[in-house]
Chain A
Amino acid sequence: MFEGMTGVDRSLRGAAALVGVADDVSPTGELERTGRELEVAMVLAALDDAGLDLGDVDGVCHAESAMGLAEYLGIAPTFTDSTMTGGSSYEVHLEHAAAAIASGLCNVVISVYASTPRSDRRRQRQVPRRGLAGPNPMVEWEWPFGLRMPMGPYALAASRHMYEFGTTSEQLAQIAVSTRDWAALNPRARYQTPITVDDVLASPLQSSPLHLLDCCLVTDGAGAFVMTSAEMARSLRKPPVYVLGAGTCHDHLMITQMPDLTTTPGAVSGSRAFEAAGITPGDVDVLMGYDSFTITALLHLEDLGFCAKGEGGAFVEDGKLGPGGSLPMNTNGGGLSFTHPGMYGMFLIVEAVRQLRGEAEARQVDRPEIAVAHGSGVVLSCMSTAVLGTEATL
């Protein structure tokens, strides 16, 4: 498994581990708690999962302000990371935390996310809005044309993929169907009733060629993870989930600037992460691939090398992504059916950890050893890939 590749530094391999995870999601799509209260609950739950407490934490990651969170928690970390790359922020946090732990900057790192767009809407809760002030090329060169955000850019990518490779709406729909089949095994999933390809095609067209059921949910949700050194991890409550490799790349912010609408920067982040881990796609037992839209997941399969560029449609047609299939993907039901509070990347990591620990209950894959969490941020803009493994993979 670990032969024949060169060029990427592998010193991170197995140096750090995920030791605690938590999430809060409800089939109603709404949560009672919100904001900092929800974040703090997730941090404490993830620390408890690890058998650690706040006093052990010396590294903080938060996609808006690690400083604000640390102040609220009353801790003074020596490692701070407020990286915001949209939905892939938490894979980037994981990568940075692994490097920081390996180099001795810190020993115990937390990352947390909470967002409640669904109940905010119902309760008319005032949410601080990030302003449009300042030079933003997107406002000048894209928004005047009625581009629907974020769906429009994904629709354009799907349009081009169909044109270049003959990908069909039926093939995209199969991804939603397989993902829903996983959600049917998850009592916390927002949608648990199985659907068919015809159901997807019969759902209203939004930004063509995407139908309503090609699109992720809008729900409340929250989660957190805790990481520490491999050495410390072995003394904690749960079996460590080791970081075997990680990689990140972004090649545009706005869709007009994407170099190739059918190839994401995941082709770079994925190959770097796989090479650092010393694995090939065939070694992956379970894949968590950010599914903001069905086309998003299809592009991941190609760019990570599970199939050749352009062959994603044919690859997914037989349902191999679903329960019992050869490449279990998004076993919690994904952004399409489980939860999608906005930046879904946290849930990729939480589910990967639970699968590798054997904690995934009815949706548990048979003794997986290697899981991949592949985050996608903004509009196919920033991809970040984490290869995770059990003790047996070291």
Chain B
Amino acid sequence: MTAGSDRGARAEAAAGVGAVAGGEGEDKQVEQVEQVKTERTRMEPPVGAESGPFWEATREGTLLVQWCTSCDRGIFYPRFFCPYCATAGPDDSAAGQSGQSGQSGQSGQSDGSTLEWRTASGRAIVHAATVEHNPAATGATFSHGEPYVVALVDLDEGVRMMTNIVGCAPEDVRPGMALTVTWEPLSDGRQLPLFTPAATSA
């Protein structure tokens, strides 16, 4: 992430903090979301510079997690660089920045450690969840005006991501609930990973 893009994100988020607070209805951020909305039911995610493999795999219903082989842990969101141990991934630009040979496809570190993609189990548990009771305030239309669940979930692989929890009454979602991944098609063939309560096993 460049300093410039970080600054932009920060400024954007701060603008959100201000305008939207919530006390009183409409807000700037709602307008922003509605501007990018088409007939699609949600604002579809752009593909970040580091996350191409993640989104390609979703076309087959495969959930990938970026993995650092040096510190042996998952990374989310995807990066060129492990934020835990500074291992760089097998990417030209990142390898170049870290002083490595910079040949495409080579491992990022002289000891062979690198960042790679692994298939996740699709199992997760709820870390925290909120039921959005005012869908109009977010511009989201995927729930057709009904309350919906936004959650942070912890994958079995140890990374935390945001998602919607579907397939149950929103008010039944609690931290600690076991989940499995399910997929919602996007307009370009990619799929968005959502989660649903795991079938209870005896």
- A residues contacting B by CB (< 8 A) are 63, 84-87, 89, 115, 117, 121, 127, 129-152, 155-160, 163, 204-210, 212, 215-218, 253-257, 261, 292-293, 335, 340-343, 377-379, 381
Asked if residues B130 and A159 are in contact (CB atoms below 8 Å), the reply is yes
Asked if residues B14 and A256 are in contact (CB atoms below 8 Å), the reply is no
Asked if residues B9 and A138 are in contact (CB atoms below 8 Å), the reply is yes
Asked if residues B138 and A147 are in contact (CB atoms below 8 Å), the reply is yes
Asked if residues A148 and B10 are in contact (CB atoms below 8 Å), the reply is no
Q: Which residues of A contact B51 (CB under 8 A)?
A: 140
Smallest distance from the beta carbon of A125 to chain B beta carbons, Å? 12
A256–B79 Cα gap in the complex (Å)? Answer: 15
Q: List 20 A-B contacts (CB under 8 A).
A: A87-B18, A127-B28, A129-B32, A134-B8, A140-B77, A141-B76, A145-B162, A146-B138, A148-B138, A149-B29, A150-B20, A156-B151, A156-B152, A159-B128, A212-B23, A218-B27, A335-B21, A343-B14, A343-B18, A379-B17
Asked if residues B32 and A145 are in contact (CB atoms below 8 Å), the reply is no
The 10 closest A-B pairs by CB, nearest first: A342-B18, A146-B140, A86-B14, A155-B130, A215-B22, A163-B175, A160-B128, A208-B131, A156-B128, A149-B16
Interface flags, B121-165, vs A, CB<8A=1, else 0: 000000111111111011110110000101110000000111110
A326–B12 Cα gap in the complex (Å)? Answer: 38
Asked if residues A256 and B160 are in contact (CB atoms below 8 Å), the reply is yes
Partner of B21, one of A147, A150, A163: A150
Q: Which residues of A contact B18 (CB under 8 A)?
A: 86-87, 115, 117, 340-343
Smallest distance from the beta carbon of B1 to chain A beta carbons, Å? 7
Asked if residues A144 and B161 are in contact (CB atoms below 8 Å), the reply is no
Known: A135-B5, A205-B131, A253-B6. 18 other contacts (CB 8 A): A63-B14, A86-B13, A86-B14, A115-B18, A129-B32, A142-B162, A147-B138, A148-B134, A150-B16, A158-B130, A159-B130, A208-B131, A212-B23, A216-B23, A255-B152, A342-B19, A342-B21, A381-B13
Please indicate which of the listed interface residues B26, B127, B128, B152 has the most CB atoms of chain A within 10 Å of its own CB.
B128
Asked if residues A206 and B134 are in contact (CB atoms below 8 Å), the reply is yes
- B residues contacting A by CB (< 8 A) are 1, 4-24, 26-29, 32-33, 36, 42-49, 51, 76-77, 127-135, 137-140, 142-143, 148, 150-152, 160-164, 174-176, 192
Asked if residues B22 and A208 are in contact (CB atoms below 8 Å), the reply is no
Closest to A190 in B: B23
> If A151-B21, A156-B130, A160-B127 touch, does A135 touch B49 (CB 8 Å cutoff)?
yes
Q: Name the prevailing secondary structure of the B interface residues.
A: mixed
Q: Which residues of B contact A147 (CB under 8 A)?
A: 138, 150, 162
Asked if residues A139 and B162 are in contact (CB atoms below 8 Å), the reply is no
Please indicate which of the listed interface residues B23, B138, B150, B161 has the most CB atoms of chain A within 10 Å of its own CB.
B23
Q: Which residues of B contact A141 (CB under 8 A)?
A: 45, 76-77, 161-162
> If A84-B14, A141-B45, A156-B152 touch, does A215 touch B130 (CB 8 Å cutoff)?
no
Q: Which residues of A contact B130 (CB under 8 A)?
A: 152, 155-156, 158-159, 207-210
Q: Which residues of B contact A139 (CB under 8 A)?
A: 43, 45-46
Partner of B5, one of A84, A136, A292: A136
Closest to B131 in A: A208
A232–B29 Cα gap in the complex (Å)? Answer: 44
A115–B186 Cα gap in the complex (Å)? Answer: 38
Q: Which residues of A contact B7 (CB under 8 A)?
A: 84
Closest to B18 in A: A342
Q: Which residues of B contact A208 (CB under 8 A)?
A: 130-133
Q: Which residues of A contact B17 (CB under 8 A)?
A: 86-87, 149-150, 292, 342-343, 377-379
A379–B10 Cα gap in the complex (Å)? Answer: 10
Partner of B152, one of A115, A158, A256: A256
Closest to A158 in B: B130
Smallest distance from the beta carbon of B145 to chain A beta carbons, Å? 12
Partner of A140, one of B29, B42, B48: B48
A84–B135 Cα gap in the complex (Å)? Answer: 30
Q: Which residues of B contact A377 (CB under 8 A)?
A: 14, 17
Closest to A135 in B: B5
A293–B7 Cα gap in the complex (Å)? Answer: 25
Asked if residues A86 and B10 are in contact (CB atoms below 8 Å), the reply is yes
Asked if residues B132 and A207 are in contact (CB atoms below 8 Å), the reply is yes
Asked if residues B14 and A157 are in contact (CB atoms below 8 Å), the reply is no
Smallest distance from the beta carbon of B13 to chain A beta carbons, Å? 5
Smallest distance from the beta carbon of A349 to chain B beta carbons, Å? 17
Smallest distance from the beta carbon of B22 to chain A beta carbons, Å? 4
Smallest distance from the beta carbon of A293 to chain B beta carbons, Å? 8
Asked if residues B5 and A134 are in contact (CB atoms below 8 Å), the reply is yes
Asked if residues A130 and B23 are in contact (CB atoms below 8 Å), the reply is no
Q: Which residues of A contact B15 (CB under 8 A)?
A: 129-130, 342
